[in-house]
A and B are shown apart, each in its own frame.
Chain A
Amino acid sequence: MNDTIETKDQAAGMKQGHVLDLKLPIGWLLGAYGVLLTVYGLMTEKEMYAISFGINVNLIWGILMLAIGGGFLLTAWLKKGKAGK
């Protein structure tokens, strides 16, 4: 019985516990992938995209990932700004 009570106290004291905002690493990782794929897409020749029906999928997907990653970073920063005030 004792350890159940102990657990409850711990839980109450730790609600602010793991404050690492997961939006940041997701945003950075996807954003970096976006930059990499966009740049690589711009640098590569059209022949490479024969298998994807001539569509430069690296460029398109890179821009998309850049937008998603940027979105995560933006929400994380906005939230942080709010908490700061």
Chain B
Amino acid sequence: MAPVITLNFVDYAIIGGYILVMVLVGYALKKYMKTGEDFFLSGRSLPGWITGLAFLSANLGALEVIGMVANSAKYGIATVHFYWVGAIPAMVFLGIFMMPFYYGSRVRTVPEYLKLRYNEATRGLNAISFAIMTVLMSGISLYAMALLLKIMLGWPLTQSILVAAVVVLLYVFWGGLSSSIYNEVIQFFLIWLGLLPIVFLGLKEVGGFAGFAARLQETLLHSVKYLGTSNNPLGVDWFGVVMGLGFVLSFGYWTTDFLVVQRALASKNINAARMTPIIAAFPKMLVPIIVVIPGLVALLVLPEFGQAALPTADYNSALILLMKHYLPNGLLGLAITALLASFMSGMAGNVTAFNCIWTYDIYGTYIRKGRPDAHYLKVGKYTTVIGIAISVGAAYIVQSFPNLMDYMQLIFSFFNAPLFATFLLGMFWKGATAWGGFWGLLVGILTAAGHYILYKAGVLTYHSDMAANFYQAIWAWSADFVVTIGVSLFTAKRDPKELVGLVFGLTPKPKAEARWYARPAVWGTLAVIVAVILNVIFW
């Protein structure tokens, strides 16, 4: 099959330039990697704007971008809920209320917080499931990307996988988390510069927003108006969107996923750490410009998705087809580079998060405890090699068993859904006990699995798979919440003295706050207000 897009020498020069710069940045960072904290947490030395942009980009992987364009072509403007409802409140909450405990307690990882707040078992459950998930997810996206490059550009699968793996390996091995974060910041600029030309040319062709309004179905044009019942393109009612997506899934991901929290922990001080997710919230609100508009344009200009669309239309190809439709060689190379950059930085992010959890929470806890720092630095560096090797292996396994991808994503969702309840109670209720936390988390995971089985068996029915997913998260979260409280009432309380710095109400307020215009609370409130206004505009 002929590739969809043909690149020329200018395009390849742009792609090559990006790879060269990434490797050079990694090499330049090599000399700073003297301690474990340098390698795993960038020496806690980065300014807020860098960690903030990295925080956003860590989540803006190539597959997310492609997937969100596809969602926009399927669901219309309602896709903005994944941003304005499903991200902003959680990011602001993390910055204002939770970061003081993460950064203030000087834990190095999210599971380490669980160990201090609850017990070793809770940490183990979270650390081991997260490490396995992260490294396998990295392999899955490696395969998905290589497959995309094969279909669209005709690049052989094995070469794509190996080149990506070697580039990521080089710069993470040399520069650790700093490399990963710097790559994410560069990716942030590339993704905007690479995709905005499609937005402008697309709006020009369809005649701007008036063109959308005149030619698209009414239900695709509103974010909130049709959420009263589940008779909307999403197939989810307002309760599912607000509680499932906006509360449980979003808070669970943004506030407890080490991939993003690690970026904030790399900040140079507590104010920068708290500002990290809030700085990220502002560009996050604008991401719909580069995903929702192209998705709607695709519906109008690409015959594949128009009135005569086949039910089998693959919406995931929408973004690439738009690139072919609008971009001449040159800008085409820039757009492909933007996708490659977000893909590689996603992989680097997964690998650095895996490294840190493996070295501190698994190796340094269960295998070799109490070694000097230099030992863990070395382990971290070689874990990079192993992590990438496992990713490549997983990529090849997924290639032979495509269904495996769906199963793995499914299992991961069981682990993620309840976690936020454990953190919420841990940080804001001093009465939560060690075993309360453990059993709450475990029952939450089992509830998610049980809900899934009942849904598949037809006992529970929803309007769409998305609705099932949102409600599954709500049930898992509620089970975790109730069981944690229940078990806590009957098990031994922790001595409040041990919980200072970990729990709200037992931790003294920081005395010297930044000036008002640098305060997280001020900017966080502003972010929420802007998100509300945006929702009203696109009501």
B-contacting residues of A (Cβ < 8 Å)? 3-4, 6-8, 10-11, 14-20, 22, 25-26, 28-30, 32-33, 36-37, 40-41, 44, 48-49, 51-53, 55, 57-58, 61-62, 64-65, 68
Whole-angstrom CA separation of A7 from B178 in the bound complex: 18
Q: Are B32 and A18 in contact (CB under 8 A)?
A: yes
Nearest CB in chain B to that of A37: its residue = B330
B201 at the interface (CB under 8 A from A): yes
B373 at the interface (CB under 8 A from A): yes
Within 8 A of A (CB), among B318-372: 325-331, 334, 370
Nearest CB in chain A to that of B14: its residue = A33
> Contacting chain A: which of B92-100, B151-159, B185-193, B514-522?
B185-193
Partner pick for A25 among B10, B21, B50, B326, CB 8 A cutoff:
B21
Report B-chain residues with C-beta under 8 Å of the C-beta of A58: 328, 330-331
> Contacting chain A: which of B40-48, B394-402, B471-479?
B40-48
Q: Are B21 and A29 in contact (CB under 8 A)?
A: yes
* Count, A-B residue pairs, CB within 8 A: 115
Query: Can you offer 12 A-B residue contacts whose CB atoms are under 8 A?
Result: A6-B373, A14-B38, A18-B29, A18-B43, A20-B25, A25-B21, A26-B185, A29-B186, A30-B193, A36-B17, A41-B330, A51-B326
Chain B interface residue number, banded: 35 or more
Within 8 A of A (CB), among B153-200: 178, 182, 185-186, 189, 193, 197
Q: Are B13 and A36 in contact (CB under 8 A)?
A: yes
> How many Å from the CB of A2 to the closest CB on chain B?
8
Whole-angstrom CA separation of A83 from B121 in the bound complex: 50
B74 at the interface (CB under 8 A from A): no
Q: Are A51 and B327 in contact (CB under 8 A)?
A: yes
> How many Å from the CB of A38 to the closest CB on chain B?
10
Nearest CB in chain B to that of A34: its residue = B193
**Known: A28-B21, A61-B197. Is A52-B42 also a contact (CB below 8 A)?**
no
Bitwise, B7-51 to A at CB < 8 A (1) or not (0) is 000100110011001001100110010010110001111100010
Nearest CB in chain A to that of B373: its residue = A6
Q: Are A61 and B32 in contact (CB under 8 A)?
A: no
Whole-angstrom CA separation of A26 from B53 in the bound complex: 13
Nearest CB in chain A to that of B266: its residue = A18
Nearest CB in chain A to that of B116: its residue = A4
B108 at the interface (CB under 8 A from A): yes
Q: Are A33 and B186 in contact (CB under 8 A)?
A: no
Report B-chain residues with C-beta under 8 Å of the C-beta of A28: 21
**Known: A11-B44, A17-B45. Is A22-B182 also a contact (CB below 8 A)?**
yes
Q: Are B201 and A57 in contact (CB under 8 A)?
A: yes
> How many Å from the CB of B45 to the closest CB on chain A?
4
Report A-chain residues with C-beta under 8 Å of the C-beta of B43: 10-11, 14, 17-18
